[in-house]
Every structure is written in structure tokens, then in C-alpha cells.
Amino acid sequence: MIKRRISIQAGMLLFWIAGLTAAVSAWALSWITSARAIEICVLVSTACCTVWLIRYGLRRRNESTLSALISRQVDQSIASRHSLQDQQLFKEHLGHIIKLLRASRATGGQGAHALSDLPWYLVLGTRGSGKTSLLARSGLSIDNASGVSGEGPDAREHCDWYFSPHAVFIETASRYLDDARSAGVFVNFLKLLKKRRKPVAINGIVLTVSLQELISATPVERLELAQRFSSRVSDYATSLGVIPPIHLVLTKSDLLPGFLSAFGDMSDESRRQPWGVALGDNSSGLGEHYEQPFETLLGRLHIYLHQLSLHGRCPADADALQFANYLMGLSEPLKDFLVQLESGSPFVNVRSVHFTSARQGSDSLPAVFKERMVAAYGLKALEPSAAPVAAGAEDKAGYFITDLFCEIIFPGRRAALRPLPSGRSSRPRRVVKGLLLTLGVGTLTLVVLDFLSDHKKLRTLDRRLAEPPAQMHSPQALRAWQALGQLRAHLSSLDTPSDGIHLLRLFPDTHGLEAVRQSIRGAVTYQLQDALGRPLEKYLRVQLGVLEGYSQHPIDVNDPGEPHTADTPLDDAGAGVRSELKRSDLSQQQRASIADTYEALKLYQVLTDPRAHPEVEFVAATLSRVWQRALAAEGIDVESQDVVDNSAAYLTDLTAARAPELRRDAALVSALQRRLKSFMTENSWAEREYLRLQLEFKSRQPALTLADLVPEAGRKQLYSSASVPALYTLEGWKSLQLELVKWLAREVRHDPDWVLEADTRQPENIQRTQFLGEFLQRYKNDYAQAWYRFLRETGVRQPDGLQASVQQLSRMSDVQNSPVKVLMQAVHLNTRWDLPMSANEAGSGHETPAVSPLTPYLRNVFDGSLATRFAPVSQLFAADDPEGGGATIMDRYLLSLRKLKVRTGDILRSQNVGKSSKRLVSETLDGQPTEIAVARQHVERYVDTSETGVSVELRRMFSSPVENTWSALRQRVGVYVADEWQQQIVQPWQKTVAHRYPIVPRASNEVSVKDVARFVRPDSGLVAAFKREQMGNLAEAQGLGDTGPDKPQALVTGHVLASIGKANVIGELLDSLADPDNGFELMVTPSSAYTDIIFTLDGQQVHYRNGKERWHRFIWPALSDVPGARLEVVTLEGKRVSVFNFPGRWGLLKMSESAQVSRLDEVRQQFAWSSEVGPVSLTVRNHGGMKLTELSAIKSLNFVSTAVRTDGYFYTLPDMDVGPDASIRQGTHTLWTHFSTPR
């Protein structure tokens, strides 16, 4: 209730702030005046204040009604139990309680409306169930207004009222459960309360049931009790119109054996907490929803008792130890009670079940587990007199009550109350009423504001018109321009919602504004004649003199003139006129001047007769530019933006067909027409008719698409994003022939240009042959381009995988219904109609009925120019069989696709698809006449006959099925080789080499040199064998190593080959170092700081004593029990110093990495180290072009276990599954790749 009130007040505040903000913003943006802004603010504030006062009055009246209703109910409750004097005292006491409640700060600030805002709860239970004790020990500062003591017996006949700063409680009499008549009286009270307290009369029901009553009752008695509660709850819910939440409180929990022993030492804070289960809003299955939370409750109890025993605070009492078992025994009776309570009425909505204890000290229930626990644990049996363990705890504060109200019951009131199944919620009605009220107030406000706005406009217009015009002595055109601007402003203020309020106009023309508009438009027309018509006439006269000068005086053809300096480029009409100038001796400036004159003349004719020539687009592009040019020629300086604004206003009138008609100077127009025609050529009537036919056919017939040419079954293999206009099809040509026959059967006339010709001039006759030639040339060019574009945007779809490729080949190789064949037949049929008549008749077998009237003009029609462009398509269906079988190129192409389909089908049916695919790819790369090679050669020999025109598109379309199959085969090959790489290289590498030093620099385990050599040996190593046996020619033939926009990606990348080559180099180095006849040689460099230098490698030792330098041969690795590399020196004082000591099989590698290496020449390298005495160096040389430092490259051999990539995906090898369905994720190195053919 409080939240709802706050939300309403916040909404009103937001509405008030939004209204004021909108008004101030509109005033700041100059949408409304300051006076109008103040009016809006006052209206919004008044509306908000009115609504607030109405709500405040209604709330005060409702509060008074509730107080009177409570007073009557309290009077009925105490009338039968007290004297008249006591009754008067109780009335005063009730009034005092309500006053204190309204004045209390603990109510949250409800003040005078506390009874309306606080939640109300019904407390329902049988006699002796602990209702009064529950409220009295709740700790909520509850005041009883009925006069019944909280400690006395439940002898009431009506109901008691309890008031607290948190809620209002109505404790119902126990007889309401049994006496139907008394219950009916209380139901009538609830109905009255529902009318007085909205939107919710009762926020919940607190149902109290004594544990003693629940446990001691038989199943029949529990069923009867549940039915009594369900019946009363149904009556209350029906009277309230909603299903209130029910909070079941099991009182007198202290009667359970062991309760006080377990909880007696609890702190006050712990006793306040609720103890029970929250069920939530469960509409059905209450018993099932209760089981799991109850088990959780028992688990927490076990943990609590266990913690007490760990801290030594749990008394050695059998009841205390078995308290959880006693509580567990309540599960079934309580579940049965809940199920029976729910099944008794559909209006029961139990939200929580909690245990409480308001008063302690009564006799506990029988301890059924006591004897067993005493015997099992050897506990001392208590005397009967000592049975009440916590007798001293009698009348302590209650257990688990206070926070039950504060944390469970009170927050639960905010949950939405479910309406009755058959009831109707009043919320939609309230919403509709609120919307209607808002709409009515808003409409009335808009009407009032609209009236005030019109009234204000008229007053402003009267005041402005009464002002004397400024600058009376200025030129007439300038005065007309200024007056035109003022009139436009007046007209705009009448036509546009200047105040931003004209959202709804219920009463148009309230002040006769339409008559005012018509008067202003008449004045605009008059001023427009002076501001635009006269300056434009003067400008045209000046231009007429300029054109006459071009004709009378010789023109310097060497003077290119100045470029056109207009503010914006000429429109299409001006550009077209410039292209039609027939005199070649005109300069660029002169041509621009003639085009400007033509443009101005056309605009002048439109302005003087806008209904005959409503050229809206032309006026929009030229009016502001020509107007400003005319004013500048007369010496009138105006702002460019003013010209643009006035031009836009005229354009709006022209679009709305209300543009004013200016006066025309017919003599000036005639003179300009004659002069301009002397500079221009005639227009092409064939072009104009052709454009008209294009638009007509486009609107009359749909375009031809791929769906019209290829059946649906084959169309799935093709794609096309283009269509052919109906005019450029065989059917379109037949319809066009009928149009040509109509034109040629009558006298064809040429309509003149209305800008340069007088309206009285008749159309001129034109030559049919010339017209037909121009028309057909343009038509055939566009016809060919339409089919070019269609073929360019049409192609074969990319299948997904080898299986889909085989299916595509099956469709494509169909002799009768091949999609490519059907498409080419349609193209052939639509592009061969202009062949000579003999060829046409031979091909079709009949003559088009509309051809005979065109017989005199056959040379222009059937010249074969269109068919020649599509000759590559016609050749597909010509008999061109070298073996003389009469097969066409198309038939042999389909045969090659069928052979390829058979071969790929065999591959799919083989046991190893990847291996079979690799065989076909390898044979094709070797240049063998495989099915793929034959199909490619057929396309290159018979289809790819030119680098331009249709052949390019045919080559792409005919090659796509073959290349798609090739791509699918390569994909399978890539996956197969990746799997073989996994099995032959990666798995052995992971097993014997990976994760060891030197592959992993910090690994503690070393790999043997023999195991590494097994992989990298140049001839017999696993990597070399894999390259030789599995890769073969995949990286060499047909330039697969080349990449480019038109070439596929290499099947085997150069990175793979480089990595394998690096492995071979390392293998050669290992073989060289281990060869007894080769190895490497070492020479000690003398030093004056030492007497002895001893170098040891795998048991091979050099002891140098400053004698003659010589080379010593070593092999690595050598057989030794103590492998490793060690260097020691003996100083002049006889001290033996170790420079380095690298034990292990890779001591030579560690020695090389620890040294400072310098290159002496192409063969020798010097290794230097620093000791505590001074530097020590060795000179090393190796044979076969190898260097000892290249041994460190062995660490890069971890590439074989990083990743293998196939068809754009990275296969991570260490965890990779074998097969094409292996898991895929991003890697870091690309070792094996496969290309994907571009779609």
C-alpha cells in the first residue's frame, strides 16, 4: 500500500516536472512564446494540484469510514462482556490507540492515513491454538482494543482488534469455524471492508494450529479440522474477491520433547528468527512442495544439535538427542494436513509453515524415544519430578515469533494476490477509466490551446499588417522581395503549428482563417510577379542580346573561355542542351551561357503556365539558382538562404497544384525560341519512344528469372541474383513487333520540344527506315547487355562435401534435364531470333505472324547482330563430334560429367575414401588422362573460345561442377593426409619425444638422440618417409605452390615443406656429428692465465698444457657411461676451476647455447666462455657445410605436434580424434592446408 501510494505520488511529481520541462524547453527553442509557456505551466500545475487534492480528500474520507467501521465492530465485541461504563472506556481507549497509531513515527510516515496504508491480517484458529499468545509475544508493540487480556482465556464471541505500527490484526473468534451463522456475519463484514478499503482489504491470513492438537488428533479429526479451515478460507476469499496468502503457524512447539533442552540457551536475537519453511506461491501440489523444504529444515536442525554437542553445550538428555526424530515424526501428519487443507478448497494458498512457542512451562508430549535413548547411550533416567527440564524458563519471551512477522508475513503482502478463478479484476476497468479521463482532459486542453493559438495569430497578424512598410524609396523589385518575405512569414504562421500545440484540431477554421489564407495567397501572387517575374524577364532579355551577339560577331575559336561558375551544376535538361549544340566553334563559356538561357526559358514557361508543364523536379533543381542570378543581374543583393526559402515555398505550392500563374511575355519567349533553335540539333524521336516502351513493358510484364527458365529440381543446383526484363525476351520481341507494325502502318510523327517550339506547331513526319535503324540498334544493344548481366550473375552452387558433389554431378550430367543444358537452351532460344529469315525458319520451322509487314525493313531487323554475340551458346548445340557420331559439344560435356560422377561414386564406395581421393588427385596432377583432366580439357577446347564476351561466363559456369568436385576431392585428401600425419608422426612423437628436453627447454627428462634421429633422418626418417609416400606430387604439379586471385591455395603450403626441410637439415647434422669418419674437430685456444685446459665430451677428452695447437676429432653422441660436456682449467696457482659442466646426452647442445659464438670464416667458429679467472675459448669446425650452432634448431621441431590445418580449419593434434569428425579449434601454426574454390 505504501509502495503504491509512493509510486502514484512519484508519477504525479514526474508528470508535473515533465510538463514544466517541456514548456520551458519549447520556449527555449522558440517553439512557443513566453506567455504560452507560462500558460502551460499554470495548467499543468493546476491539474496536478487538483488531482492531489481529490486524492487527499478521498483518502481522508476513506480513513474516517474505516475508523467508524472498526468502532462498530469493537462495540459488538465488547457489548456482551462489559457494562456500559466499561464500553465507554473502551471506546475512548480505541480512539486513543488510533490517534497514537497515526502520530507514531514507526508507521513509516502514514500519518492520518495509517489505517488505509498499513496491511491488515486475519488471525484464524481454533480455541486454545495460541492466537492471542502469538500476537502478545510477537514484540510488535501491539495494542488490544477489545478489552480481552492477552493472557486470558479465549472467551470472545466476535473478534478482537490489535493495532501496531506495522500492521492491523483481526483475531477472529473460534466459533466462526463451527457456527455458520456467525461466520456469515463476519463474511458480510469482510464484504463491507472490501468496499471501504481498496485495492486490497485483507493482505493475508495467519492460520494458527496447535502442535498438541495436530499430533493428538486422529486422521479423521485432522481431516475434519482441515475441512473447517478450508471452508472458512473459501468464504473469506469469495467475499474479498481475491485469494489471500495463508501463513500456517504451528504453535506450542515447546511441547515437543527436547525443545527447551535444544533451544533453551538461545540468545534473544536467535529466538527472534523464524523457524520453518517458505513454500512460495504454489498453486497446486502443496504436499509435494513441502517435503523438500522440510527435509532441509531437519538437516539444519541436525547440524545445530551437532554443533552444540561439539561445543559441549548439549545436555545429555535422551529427549534432546532425539528432538530431531520427534520433529521428523511430524512430517507425515503435517503433510496430510496440508494436502487435506489444499484439497478442501481451490482458494487455499499456503505460503509458509513455521513453528513457534509463545509460552513455555506446560507438560510436554510423551517422549516415545526416551527409553530407547537411555538404554542405548547409558544416560541417567530423570525422575518424574524433574521432567520439566526448563521449568524455570516458563513465561520467557517467545521463540521464533518476531522475525516471522517482520521477515516472512509482512514482506509477503507485496506479492501479487491471485484473483478468484471466476472473479473479474477491477484493475482493467480502472485503467480504462483513467485513460478515458486523461484523453478527455487532454482533448479539452488541446481544443482550448488551439482556440487561443488561432486568436493570438490573428491579433499578431493584424498588428503586423497595420505597421507601415519600410524603405518606401527602395527599388520596386526590392520592395516586392521584402513584401514577399513578410507575406510568406504570415502564411507560414497560419499554415504551420508555430506554437507546437496543433496536435488535434476538432474545430477547423474557428476564426475564418481560410479566408485570410486566400487573401494572403493573392497578395503573394501579386508580389511574386514583381519579385520573380520581372527580374526573370529582364534577365532573359539580356541573354537574348548575348545570343544575338554570338550570331552577328565572329567567334575566336582559340579562346576556350572561362569555365562555368554557377553555384551548383546544371541539371539534366541543361546538360542535355549543351550536348545538342551543333556549332563546334562555340567556346566553353558560350556553351554554358546558351545552356543557362535554355534553363531560364524553361523555368519562365513553367512559372507562367504551371498547370500545362508541372516540372516539379526541374523547378526544385533550378529555381533558387536562376532566381538569385536574375536578382543579381538587376543589382539586388539578397541573402542566399532567403532565396532558398522562398523557392522551397513556391515548390510546395507547385507540388500541391496551387502555384500562382505569372504573366507571360509571348514576344520575348518567341524570340528566345528562334535564337536557341539556331544553336541546337533536333532531338531523336526513336530514343524517346524506346524509353517509353521500356517503362511500359516494365509495368506490364514481370521480369524473366531463373525460376522461369529452369525446373525446380535442377534449379537447386544453380543460383542467380539477376533477372531479364520482359522487353528483352523472345515473347517481349514478339510483342514489340506488334508495336512496330502499328507504328510503321501509320504515319509516324515526331513531337517537338515544348520549350523551343510553339504550341501551334504540328509534329513532323520522320523516315521509317531511319527510325527503325536507330530503334533496333539501341534495342539489340540493351538486349545483349541484359542477357550478359543475367549470365554474369548466374552460376553453379558450391556443394558441401564430396557426397553433395556427386549428387550435383548426377543432376548436371542428366541428358534430358541437366540444369546447365536447360539454361543454355533457354538462352539460345531467346538470342537467335534476329538471324536471317532462312536460318530462322530452318531453326524454328515456322514464321512469326507479325513479320510480314516488316518485310521491307528486314535488313535492319534480321541482320544477325544479336545472334553473333551469343554464337558461343549456339555452338554448344551444333554437331561437332570428331568421331562423326553427331554428338554436340553439350552432349560430350555431359558425358564427361557422367564419367566423373562414376569415378567419384566409386571413391565414395571404397573402403578408404581419403586414399582413393588422393590417388585421383595425384593422377590428375601427374598429367594422366583422368576424368577431371578430360572434363577440363573439353571445357578449355570447346567452351573457352574467347577471353571476352559470353565465353567468359560459359567457361565459369561449365567449369564449376568440375572444380567443385576437384575441391571436394582435395578436401578429402587434406583430411586423409592430416589423419595419416597424426598416426605416423604425431602419435609416435608424443610418445617418445614430446615433453622432453630439448623439445621442452625446462623439461627434467631428456630425449635420446636416437629417437630424434628416427624422425629427422634425411632418407629413412619418419618425416622424410611421410613426405615421400603420403605427399608425393601434391606440392609440385600444376603450379599449386602459386597463389593469386584466380588460383587456388596450395594444397601443401610452403611452410610445411620448409619445416620438413629443416627437419632434414637437422637429421643431416646429427648424422654428420655421429659419423666416426666425419664428426667435428675442436682446437683449444692458448691462454696465459692457465696451465691446463681440459675439455671432456661423452668420455672423449682433450688435455691441453700450453703446447702446440692442433685439431682433435670428436663424435657425438659417443658411447659413454657418463655422457655430458665439461670444461675445466688449472690456474697458475694450481687451482682447478670448472668453467661449465653439462651432464646428460645433450651436453653438446647446452655447451653451444652457453657460449659466446663468433664466426671466424665459412668453416670455423669460436666458442668463448668467462670464468672467475678469465676467458676461455675453443675453435670448432665441422665438415659437409654444417655448423655446430645449427644443432640448436632442434628445439623448433615441436612444430610436428602443434596443429595441422585442412580446408580452413585447424586440427589440434595432441588431442585430435582420427577421422573427418574430429574436434576442431583454432591453432597457431599452419602445416597442412586445403583450398576452397570460390563460389
* Residue range 240-268: mean pLDDT, rounded: 84
C-alpha cell at 919: 590417388
The percentage of the chain sitting over the pLDDT mark of 90, rounded to a whole number, equals 14
Is residue 1204 over pLDDT 50? no
Q: Report the alpha-carbon distance of residue 1034 to residue 974 in Å, rounded.
A: 10
Cα 360 from Cα 263, distance rounded (Å): 12
**Cβ–Cβ under 8 Å, residues 1046 and 963:** no
Taken as a whole, the chain contains a residue count of 1239
Which of 464-473, 778-787, 1019-1028, 1031-1040 has the least mean pLDDT? 464-473
SS (H, E, C) 91-150: HHHHHHHHHHHHHCHHHCCCHHHHHHHCCEEEEEECCCCCHHHHHHCCCCCCEECCCCCC
More confident residue, 681 or 833: 833
- Grid coordinates standing for 2? 505504501
- What's the pTM value of the predicted model, to 2 decimals? 0.46
How far is Cα 974 from Cα 986, in angstroms, rounded to an integer?
16
What is the average per-residue pLDDT within 1156-1175?
90
Give the integer Cα–Cα distance in Å for 820 and 816.
Answer: 11
**Of 991, 791, 950, 946, the residue nearest 866 (C-alpha):** 950
Q: What is the mean pLDDT of residues 992-1003?
A: 87
Reported as a pLDDT band with limits 50, 70 and 90, residue 1218 is very low
Give the per-residue pLDDT at 93.
61
Count of other CB atoms within 10 angstroms of residue 361: 14
Give the residue-averaged pLDDT of 298-316.
74
Query: Residue 1008 contacts by C-beta under 8 Å, 6 or more apart in sequence?
Result: 1145
Please state whether the peptide bond connecting residue 469 to the residue before it is cis, i.e. omega within 30 degrees of 0.
no
Question: Among 819-833, 982-996, 1003-1017, 1218-1232, which is the least confidently predicted range?
Answer: 1218-1232
Query: Lowest-pLDDT range, 55-59, 972-976, 1070-1074?
Result: 55-59
Q: Which among 189, 156, 177, 176 is positioned nearest to 79, based on CA atoms?
A: 156
- Residue scoring higher pLDDT (318 or 1145): 1145
For residue 1220, is the peptide bond before it cis, meaning its omega torsion is within 30 degrees of 0? no
CB 274 within 8 A of CB 403: yes
Q: Indicate whether 496 pLDDT > 60.
A: no
Q: Which residue has the higher pLDDT, 852 or 1013?
A: 1013
Q: In sequence order, what are the beta bridge partners of 480?
A: none
Please report how many Cα atoms fall inside a 13 Å half-sphere around the Cα of residue 762, on the Cβ side.
4
pLDDT value at residue 101: 66
Grid cell in block for residue 620: 526544385
Angle between helices 331-343 and 286-310 (to 10 degrees): 150
In the predicted model, is pLDDT for residue 515 greater than 90?
A: no
For residues 897 and 889, is the Cβ–Cβ distance under 8 A?
A: no
Residue 1228 has pLDDT above 70, yes or no: no
- By C-alpha distance, which of 465, 463, 464, 448 is closest to 499? 448
- Which residue spans within 422-489 are E strands per DSSP? none
**Per-residue 3-state assignment (H helix, E strand, C coil) for 848-876:** CCCCHHHHHHHHHHCCCHHHHHCHHHHHC
The top-scoring range by mean pLDDT among 105-119, 736-750, 840-854, 902-916 is 902-916
Q: Which helix (H) or strand (E) holds 1228?
A: none
Residue 555 near residue 586 (C-beta atoms within 8 A):
yes
Instruction: Report the half-sphere exposure of 442 (CA within 13 A, side-chain side).
Output: 11
Q: How confident is the model at residue 561 (pLDDT cuts 50, 70, 90)?
A: very low
Q: Is the pLDDT score of 795 beyond 80?
A: yes
Q: Does pLDDT of 1221 surpass 70? A: no
Q: According to the per-residue pLDDT averaged within each range, which of 226-230, 361-365, 544-548 is highest?
A: 226-230
The confidence band for 153, taking pLDDT boundaries of 50, 70 and 90, is very low
pLDDT of residue 1141: 94
Under 8 Å between Cβ of 239 and 190: yes
Return the pLDDT at 261: 79
Q: Return the closest-CA partner of residue 1203 out of 986, 1029, 1016.
A: 986
pLDDT of 168 above 60: yes
Residues 6+ apart with CB under 8 A from 444: none
- Residues 6+ away with beta carbon under 8 Å from 881: 887, 888, 892
Half-sphere exposure of 1045 (CA within 13 A, CB side): 0
Contact 271, 398 (CB under 8 A): yes
Q: How far from 86 is each of 69, 79, 93, 387, CA to CA, in Å?
A: 20, 9, 10, 44
C-alpha angle 1061/1062/1065, rounded to 5°? 90
Max CA separation in the chain (angstroms):
146
pLDDT above 90 (res 1169)? yes
Phi, psi of 28 (to 5 degrees): -65, -35
Alpha-carbon span 820 to 116, nearest angstrom: 83
Cis amide linkage into residue 119, ω under 30° from 0: no
Q: What does each C-alpha distance from 1224 to 252, 721, 796, 1127, 1229 come to in angstroms? A: 66, 34, 29, 49, 14
How would you classify residue 647: left for phi > 0, otherwise alpha for psi between -120 and 50, otherwise beta? alpha
Burial environment of residue 437 by CB neighbours within 10 A (0 to 12, 13 to 18, 19 or more): exposed
Non-local (6+) Cβ contacts of 1102 within 8 A are 1082, 1084, 1093, 1094, 1095, 1096, 1112
pLDDT in tens, 1105-1114: 988 889 999 9
Cα distance between residue 76 and residue 94, in whole Å: 13
Torsion region of 356: left, alpha or beta (phi above 0 gives left; psi -120 to 50 gives alpha): beta
Write the DSSP symbol of residue 357: B
Kindly report the average pLDDT of the chain as a whole number. Answer: 75
* pLDDT at position 562: 38
